[in-house]
Amino acid sequence: MRSVWQSIRTTIVFMVLCGLLYPLFLVLIGQTVFPFQANGELVKGPNGAVVGSRLIAQPVTQPGLFQPRPSAVNYAANGSGGSNLGPTNPALIKEVRGNILAFEKLNPTVSVSQIGPTEVESSASGLDPDITVRDAMLQIPGVAKATGLSTHTLKKLVLGHVRGRFLGIWGEPHVNVMDLNLAVLKLTHK
């Protein structure tokens, strides 16, 4: 019985230490030292209202903005996830085919042979905030046509938003879609 009593007390002590004091201490640090990150990197649009998080992809269905990668959960930022489709599942072919059609709709000048797997295969989180540099370049003609910006301007914009690998070694070079789209909107709202 002594063990049980000791265990109950230990449970309470560590629940308070590791379950309350520790996370609340980090809340304190987060809210005072890193308030932008600690609240989810929320960003404002051209008219000053919060339009989303720069770490969370959002659906783009109309021309004029760069598209993020396809999402198996329809960009539900309160219900993340991948498709979990296996490599030999016929549903995977159907899904990718649908994604190709959706991509072609906004980028009519692009042929299938140019499309890379990143743009038509669903991300792991369904909220992947980034696209590859190649996928951004592929979308330039479509965005240029809808916004009236020159392809040259857009190319410069994309290249200016490329983030390289961590220390040049880990990860893939990528472009944050929210940053890029906000930059596009800034140019078109002038």
Partner 1 sequence: MTFVGSLGIILLAVITVVLAIPLGTYMYKVFSGQRTIFEGIYNPVERLLYKLMGVNAETEMTWYIYTKKFLTLNLVMFFVGYLVLRLMGHLPLNPDHIPSMNWNLAFNTAMSFVTNTNWQSYMGEQAMSYLGQMVFVQFLQFTSIATGVVMAIAFVRSFVTRTGTLGNFWFDFVRIITRVYLPLSILFGILFLALGSPQTLHGAAVVHTLQGAKQTISRGPVASLEAIKQLGNNGGGFFNANSAHPFEGPNAFSDVLGILGMSLIPTALVVTFGQFIKNKKQARVLYIFLMATLVVGAFVVYAFEAAGNPVLAHVLGIHGPNWEGKEVRFGPALSSYFVSATTAYTTGAVNTMHDSLTPLAGLVPLGFMMLNMIFGSGGAGLLNILMFMIITVFLSGLMVGRTPEFLGKKIQAKEIKLATVAMLVHPFLILVFTAIAVVSKAGLAGIYNPGLHGFTEVLYAYTSGAANNGSAFAGLGANSPFYNVTIGIDIMIGRYVSIIAMMAIAGSLATKKTVPASVGTLATDTYSFGFVFMAVVLIVGALTFFPAVAIGPIAEQLKMWATGR
Instruction: Give least dist CB 156 to partner 1, A.
Output: 21
Q: Which is nearer to partner 1, 39 or 152 (CB)?
A: 39
One character per residue 73-112, x = contact with partner 1 (rule: CB under 8 A)? --xxxxxxxxxxxxxxxx-xx--xx--x-----------x
Which residues in the 29-48 window bind partner 1 by CB under 8 A? 29-31, 33-34, 37-42, 45
Instruction: Give least dist CB 6 to partner 1, A.
Output: 5
Among 106, 115, 143, 157, binds partner 1 (CB under 8 A): 115
Q: Which is nearer to partner 1, 11 or 151 (CB)?
A: 11
Q: What share of the chain is helix, strand, coil (3-state, %, to 5)?
A: 50, 10, 40
Q: Which is nearer to partner 1, 8 or 108 (CB)?
A: 8
Asked if 14 is part of the footprint of partner 1 (rule: CB under 8 A), the reply reads yes
Per the listing, tokens 């000053």 go with: 48
Q: Which is nearer to partner 1, 117 or 152 (CB)?
A: 117
Count other C-beta atoms under 10 Å from residue 80's C-beta: 16
Q: How far is C-alpha 105 from the geometric centre of its chain's CA atoms? A: 21
162 within 8 A of 175, measured Cβ to Cβ: yes
Q: Which of 57, 81, 84 is nearest to 69 (CA)?
A: 57
Angle at which helices 133-147 and 177-188 cross, to 10° = 20
Asked if 189 is part of the footprint of partner 1 (rule: CB under 8 A), the reply reads no
Among 103, 107, 128, 179, binds partner 1 (CB under 8 A): 128
Q: Which residues pair with 131 in a beta bridge?
A: 175
Asked if 65 is part of the footprint of partner 1 (rule: CB under 8 A), the reply reads yes
Asked if 59 is part of the footprint of partner 1 (rule: CB under 8 A), the reply reads yes
By CB under 8 A, which span of 3-11, 102-110, 141-149, 153-161 interacts with partner 1? 3-11
Q: Which residues contact 24 (CB under 8 A, 6 or more apart)?
A: none
On the 0-12 / 13-18 / 19+ scale of CB atoms within 10 A, 181 is buried
